[in-house]
Amino acid sequence: MLHDPSLQALLDEAMEFPWQQTLLEALIEWHPDYLPGKISAAEHALAARSCEHTDLNEQIALEDALHTLRLLFSKEVSGQKFTN
């Protein structure tokens, strides 16, 4: 995903939850053709995990992640609207 192995290692260590990788991929995608799919994958990962039993820390992280996606990608991206 990232070209710098040391940065990737740092990010891997900082991530607490598996769905955070999918979120990160959406946040750092620069190619407009791939962005909608990355956003959709992140939204699906968040929604799927939200349906499962999680502790309070993960619930807060999930809510923050969803809020971040909606805040950053509520404008048009590649001709599509991302407003849930």
Residue 13 has a pLDDT of: 77
pLDDT digits (tens, 9 = 90+) for 31-73: 999 999 999 999 999 999 999 999 999 999 999 999 999 998 8
pLDDT at 74 over 90: no
CA dist., res. 12 & res. 9, Å (int):
5
Beta carbons within 8 Å of 56's beta carbon, 6+ residues apart: none
Other C-beta atoms lying within 10 Å of the C-beta of residue 24: 20
Instruction: Mark residue 54 as left, alpha or beta (left: phi above 0; alpha: psi -120 to 50; beta: remaining).
Output: beta
Going by C-alpha positions, the residue among 1, 78, 65 that lies closest to residue 35 is: 78
pLDDT digits (tens, 9 = 90+) for 20-29: 999 999 999 9
Distance of CA 44 to the CA centre of its chain: 9
